[in-house]
Amino acid sequence: MRITTAVLLGLVSIPATPIPVAAITAPVCRPVSAKVAMTSSGPADQHVAGTLCLPRGHATTVQLLIPGGFYGQAYWRMHGDRQRPSYVETMTAAGYATLAIDRLGTGASSYPPSARFGRDTHQIVIRQLIRKLREGRLGGGRFAKVVLVGHSLGSTLARTVATAHPAEVDGVILTGESSVPNEAAFEQMGAGIHRAADDPAFAGRGLDDGYLTTRPGLRATWFYHRPNADSKVITADEATKTTDVFPPGDSYTPPSINKHIQAPVLIINGEHDKLLAGARSSSAALHAQEAPFYSPRAKLETVVVPGTGHVLNGHRTAPHWFAQARAWADRRVGGAAR
């Protein structure tokens, strides 16, 4: 699969009501910086920046939030509906800790030379973060359970780690990714990606040619279903874009390995996601498409969000899928502070 595909990347109907922003108690959040290595045996000479948010009480479950291509940790604090809470606020209000990260080469994390990235660098970093969370080395105490929550490329990374190291993951939420990507759409979208050094937002940063970013307007065109998105949210999204590095080789892990996942899995996609070619008409259709790739131990559940594009968190419908994910976490994982 070409690099453009790698760039972004239980039938269930859960009755869940979104929570108004006014009803949310602000979580206790603090920035974290974790020293990490880029290879399994290399030195921990890079750092991953993130924000750890804790609920009231003691949570024994933490959600590790992995953004997609050209997005950083701010994705998980987006308010697609400006009157409703973000994903982080929703989960901390429900009693779960969250760690939202900037992957290497994005946001406030390290920017090593792109040639140092290996095909599995991002997965190796995620495993180090899981270990630090379980050992209590990032604050908030030790967490007994870790749920990986991904969007697009972040979803690919989450399920790759969960398949290769099933004992390390207690739950997986995958958004903006499925077993049937739209190859033609990824090819077309590729024209809207250029070197970060050629972008006014990143000029003068000294980034090498392996660092890429999106051209102005790409996000609105490819990531949103505009009838259900606030223009101010889209503008803010464009203004806060990040760079990214996509290692040589194919970063899209084929779904054939998903049967190795031993933890519960929830898949959530938008009805109007232009980057997916598979089932988007209903939760039942998505379940029928994805179920053959998972074992019974995954207890697969699926949700299709109506009126929604690729960037689920940026749409007015976002609070509805947040509520469904919250209900799923309570049923399938547990460990929320009470």
- pLDDT one-digit tens code per residue, 221-257: 999 999 999 999 999 999 999 999 998 765 678 999 9
The number of helix segments (H) and strand segments (E) in the chain equals 9, 11
- Cα separation of 109 and 79, whole Å? 23
Q: Is 258's pLDDT higher than 50?
A: yes
User: Could you tell me how far CA 143 lies from the centroid of its own chain?
Assistant: 20
In this predicted structure, the answer to whether residue 134 has a pLDDT above a threshold of 70 is yes
Residue 136 — pLDDT band, cuts 50, 70, 90?
very high
Average pLDDT over residues 301-319: 98
Pairing of strands 28-36, 46-54: antiparallel
Residue 26 has pLDDT above 50, yes or no: yes
In the structure, what pLDDT confidence band is assigned to residue 48 with cuts at 50, 70 and 90?
Answer: very high
Say how many CA atoms lie within 13 Å of 13 toward its Cβ: 5
pLDDT band at 333 (very low <50, low <70, confident <90, very high): very high
Is residue 34 within 8 Å of residue 128, measured between CB atoms? yes
What is the predicted pLDDT for the residue at 4? Answer: 41
Q: Stretch 164-168: mean pLDDT, rounded? A: 97
Strand, coil or helix: what is 330? helix
Q: Mean pLDDT over residues 31-43, rounded?
A: 97
Confidence of residue 21 (pLDDT cuts 50, 70, 90): low
- Quick one: DSSP state of residue 318? H
In the prediction, which pLDDT does 12 show? 38
Average of per-residue pLDDT values in the chain: 93
Residues whose CB is less than 8 angstroms from the CB of residue 223 and which lie 6 or more positions away in sequence, other chains included: 237, 309, 310, 311, 314
**pTM of the full structure:** 0.93
Distance of CA 189 to the CA centre of its chain: 20
